[in-house]
Amino acid sequence: MATSTLPIPREVKHFDEISMRQSLLFTESLKDLKNLRSQLYSAAEYFELSYTNDDQKQIVVETLKDYAIKALVNTVDHLGSVSYKVNDILDEKVDEVSGTELRVSCIEQRLRTCQEYIDHEGITQQSLVINTPKYHKRYILPAGETMRGANRTKSKYLGCSLDDEDDWHQFKNAVRATIRETQTPTSTVSKGLSPSPSPRATQRPGVFSFTATMPKKELEKRSISPHRFPLLRSGSLSSRPMTPNSSRPTTPNSSRPTTPNPSSNARRRYPSEPRKSASMRLHAEKENAKEVDQFPSKSKRLLKALLSRRKSKKDDMLYTYLDEY
């Protein structure tokens, strides 16, 4: 049996050289295992011939026994070394695969982290895009409502969009300018009124809010009476052109629907915030209380005059009230 064993150098610096030598030894041991079968067959034939031909058969038998023992031991050694190397190589490959799995898992975790970060940033951007209440506040603040409650709206929507003082002052000035433009005709008309004594002169803006919540019967009466009035008064207007037409029909009509109705309209549109708007008006309407209180008293007197005119058909009394109005 020819067993080729290469001398392993004691000091091998490089790992590649060691692995190359180990792989070379492994291939050589595999080749020895392959050649072992043919060697055993050839040895068996040789001992058979020598046993039949040679006279010293006992020596041949003893030699055969020794050869069989050595061949078996050599085969076990070869198989042991080969199996050990195969196991070593397999374990090494399994370790490499496990290390590669760990690296791949690390890369996957990094990618997942990046994906989560990208998703989080996208959600943050979208949420920032959604939370823009600027248009909401400017939509809620009409000119008529902010007339008396502009200061309240500031405190109410302070944290929405007009956070800066400059922006808030600009917005408040713009609202005041629009309010002045819309309020100039009514104020000029109210200046021309004569101070007639009203039975509700001591009433405060709370009374005004009460008129806003008047029962529907009175509102229907008030809405019905002007329809009757122009038909009856069309002739009298032609007879009396000196009285200003703009002041008579506009002021009662403007005072009636505008002053009580916005609160009622506001209550119809925004049922969730009627109290706040009413309280806002209570503080803001103190300045204009006298101007506002004169309208329902005079309109009531005008209504009484119209009713008395219908009964007695005396136009003089009506015209005196109209002139006074």
For another protein, the binding residue among 31, 65, 269, 286 (CB under 8 A) is 65
* Residue pair 154/137 in contact by the 8 Å Cβ criterion: no
CA atoms of 250 and 39, how far apart (whole Å): 131
Nearer residue to another protein within complex by CB, 79 or 174: 79
Nearest to 206 by CA among 263, 268, 145, 139: 263
Nearest to 84 by CA among 5, 29, 129, 17: 29
- Look at residue 228 and give its three-state secondary structure: helix
For another protein, the binding residue among 18, 24, 49, 86 (CB under 8 A) is 86
Interface with another protein, residue 264, by CB under 8 A: no
- Look at residue 193 and give its three-state secondary structure: coil
Nearer residue to another protein within complex by CB, 52 or 194: 52
Interface with another protein, residue 59, by CB under 8 A: no
Nearer residue to another protein within complex by CB, 57 or 304: 57
Interface with another protein, residue 69, by CB under 8 A: yes
Interface with another protein, residue 54, by CB under 8 A: no
Within 13 Å, how many C-alpha atoms sit on residue 148's CB side? 19
Interface with another protein, residue 240, by CB under 8 A: no
Question: Segment near another protein (CB under 8 A), from 76-84, 229-237, 238-246, 309-317?
Answer: 76-84
Nearer residue to another protein within complex by CB, 107 or 214: 107
Nearer residue to another protein within complex by CB, 112 or 283: 112
Nearest distance from residue 101's CB to another protein, in Å? 6
Nearer residue to another protein within complex by CB, 105 or 320: 105
Interface with another protein, residue 57, by CB under 8 A: no
Nearest to 267 by CA among 207, 320, 214, 321: 214
Terminal-residue alpha carbon distance, the chain: 140
For another protein, the binding residue among 31, 37, 93, 314 (CB under 8 A) is 93
Burial class (CB in 10 A: 0-12, 13-18, 19+), 305: buried
Interface with another protein, residue 101, by CB under 8 A: yes
Interface with another protein, residue 88, by CB under 8 A: no
CA atoms of 313 and 319, how far apart (whole Å): 12
* Residue pair 71/1 in contact by the 8 Å Cβ criterion: yes
- Encoded one letter per residue, x for contact with another protein by CB under 8 A and - for no contact, window 106-135 reads -xx--x--x---x--x--------------
CA atoms of 44 and 50, how far apart (whole Å): 10
For another protein, the binding residue among 49, 79, 201, 237 (CB under 8 A) is 79
Nearer residue to another protein within complex by CB, 86 or 177: 86
For another protein, the binding residue among 8, 20, 49, 104 (CB under 8 A) is 104
The Cβ of residue 308 has, within 10 Å, a number of other Cβ atoms equal to 14
CA atoms of 291 and 190, how far apart (whole Å): 7
For another protein, the binding residue among 83, 213, 223, 253 (CB under 8 A) is 83
Does an H or E element contain 189, and which? helix 165-191
Nearest to 296 by CA among 211, 228, 224: 211
The Cβ of residue 81 has, within 10 Å, a number of other Cβ atoms equal to 16
Interface with another protein (CB under 8 A):
61, 65, 68-69, 72, 75-76, 79, 83, 86-87, 90, 93-94, 97-98, 100-101, 104, 107-108, 111, 114, 118, 121
